[in-house]
Structures are given as C-alpha cells and as structure tokens.
Chain A
C-alpha cells in the first residue's frame, strides 16, 4: 500500500509544484518507488518543472475516463530511478476529476508504488479538494507573507474536515509546514515574518525551511528538480525536508543570515 501525500497551500505561486517535484525526486533517490500526480487540470505545469513536457502523450483525465491505461500515461523520469510522473490534462475542465475516478486511479497506483504525491492546484475548488481527499498526510507550502499564511490556515481547516480520513472520523489530516522563499536577512531587519512567527500563528509542525534562492529559478528554467542541485542551499534544504519526512531528525539550516567575514566587509563584495 502506498502512502498518499498532498502538497497543498491555498494560495498560488508559493512553490507547490517546485516542492512536489523536489520531494518526489528526493523520495525516489532514497529508493522509494514514487509517483507524482499533477492535479491542476487545465494548467499543467509539473511536466515542465520535471523536464518531461515533450514526452506527455496521455494524462490523468485520460486514465480516469478509460481512454488510456495508467501504464500508458505514466512518464518514467529519465534522471531518477523509481520516479514516475502523471501529468494533468491541458484541455479538459476540472469536473473531469470525479471522486470515484480519482479514487480508482489512486487505488491502482497504490498496488505498485511506495509514495504517491498529489500536486494540488491553487485555490479551494474541486481540483484542490480532490488532491487532498484521499491523502494520508499533507505538506502545506507557505511563504512568510500575510496572504499565504492566512490561506494556509484556511487550507488546514479544510484538511481537518473535508478529507476522507476526517469524514471517517480519524480526525484532522496529519499536516506539516514547508516554509519557502525564506530570507533570513529580511527577517533580521523586521521586514519578514520569522519561522517562529509562522509556526506560532498556524500551530503546525515544521517539515522544512527553504531559503529564497536563485537556484530554484535556475532549476525550473532547466526543467530539473532543484533537489538535484546538490550545491545549492535550496536543494540541500529540500534534501533535509525529505529526510525529516522519512523520519530522520535533522537540524534546520539556512535560518540565519550569512554573516560577512571581515574581508567580505572590507571589500563589500
């Protein structure tokens, strides 16, 4: 049986797809057979972030409608063993994601995979609700910014009441926070909410903090999950988050501003 994980946020543009791509790749690198599904019907983008956009033939909705088998629609990642992508449909509308259809696809995937990551669309409409409904746990992606934090709280409310687990009386969906685009030097200046602030407001366990980093844009430009950029701070932060996700204890890094050494200060580089 696979473990189903929804990557969600409420607000758009906070890094759900970047996180889905990075975490799916990280889990596969650790030897877990992983599938990552794009639930953003009509606005497919996971394929582009994973660099497999030219290999899409069939999509999630084709499988739901029985036009293609899962085997035909799943794209095997070229860089990472054990990793498969199920792209979203670009043309259908969101109503194509029926509870029955999504449930069947997830059941079939569960036979073969260790982890299924559901990359949720923004908002709290059908696509987002379906991405979360069958999940065993959630990763809530948040930026240290007022609208993102508020939307995350709203999403946590939905995860606590509108998922299958909640409906079956198993209580709120276990959810952890991934804080992205974190800029410690701006936090020090009092210009940005700190990790502690966000944890206090949302009362949620922290899975990881990903620093604001040029490497994220570089990776998406190249169609390569940023976790594969092992030199980069963001890549390392995602590796840490995956390790924590798998139960390892790792201290949080990249929480403090890089202090410039005396030479750095002299030459103001």
Chain B
C-alpha cells in the first residue's frame, strides 16, 4: 500500500549507465587487484585442483573458489568447493 506521503518523497535516483559502469568497474578492479597481490602460484594451483577434483566429480570452473587472506602474521588460504546436486555423481 502506498501512503499519501510517499508521493512527496523524491524518487530513487535512476540507474544511469555511468552508475552501472562505476559499479562494475569497482567490482572487477578490486578482484583483479586481489589476484595481483596474491602469490604467482594461485592460478596454477586453482587449475590443478580443478583437474584433481574432476577425476571424481563433475564441476565447473566457478565451483572452486580460492581466497588468500592475511590475518596478523599468518596467511590463510581458503578453498571452497561447491558441489551441486546434479554434479555429485560422475
């Protein structure tokens, strides 16, 4: 239900194409900087992990997510492998 006062509220700012460009760029630039800051072996490790997993289950490229985080003086490599219902059996 729309109250009468809603008519006096300014409409939300329209989603302009420049706004979309900025949001998309912020996401991709942050991601690529993360990759750049990470060690060189991450892409190769990601690829090889996928190959090993594919020996047993069918997964797509996006189902293995890897992030490397610095916490204090230790680094944490987090590997997330998502198996969907249909992918569980080869």
Contacts and interface: CB of A to CB of B under 8 A. Distances in A.
Interface of A: 145-146, 149-150, 153-154, 157, 161, 187, 189-194, 197, 200-202
Interface stretch (B3-11, B22-30, B48-56, B82-90): B22-30
Nearest to A161: B36
Interface of B: 14, 16-19, 21-22, 24-26, 28-29, 32-33, 36
Contacts of A145: 21
B32 A154 contact: yes
A193 B22 CA distance: 7
B19 A157 contact: no
A18 to B, nearest CB: 23
Contacts of A194: 18
Given A150-B29, A201-B26, A191 B36 contact: no
Contacts of B18: 187, 190-194, 197
12 contacts: A145-B21, A146-B24, A146-B25, A149-B29, A150-B32, A153-B32, A154-B32, A161-B36, A190-B19, A197-B21, A200-B22, A201-B25
Nearest to B36: A157
A197 B17 contact: no
A191 B17 contact: yes
Contacts of B17: 190-191
Contacts of A200: 22
Greatest chain B CB density within 10 A among A157, A190, A197 is at: A190
A-B pairs with lowest CB-CB distance, top 6 = A190-B16, A197-B22, A157-B36, A190-B18, A153-B29, A201-B25
Contact of B25 (A150, A187, A190, A191): A150
A150 B28 contact: yes
Contacts of B22: 193, 197, 200-201
Given A153-B29, A153-B32, 6 more contacts: A145-B21, A150-B29, A154-B32, A191-B16, A193-B21, A193-B25
A58 B33 CA distance: 41
B35 to A, nearest CB: 9
Contacts of B36: 157, 161
Nearest to B29: A153
Nearest to B13: A190
A145 B18 CA distance: 9
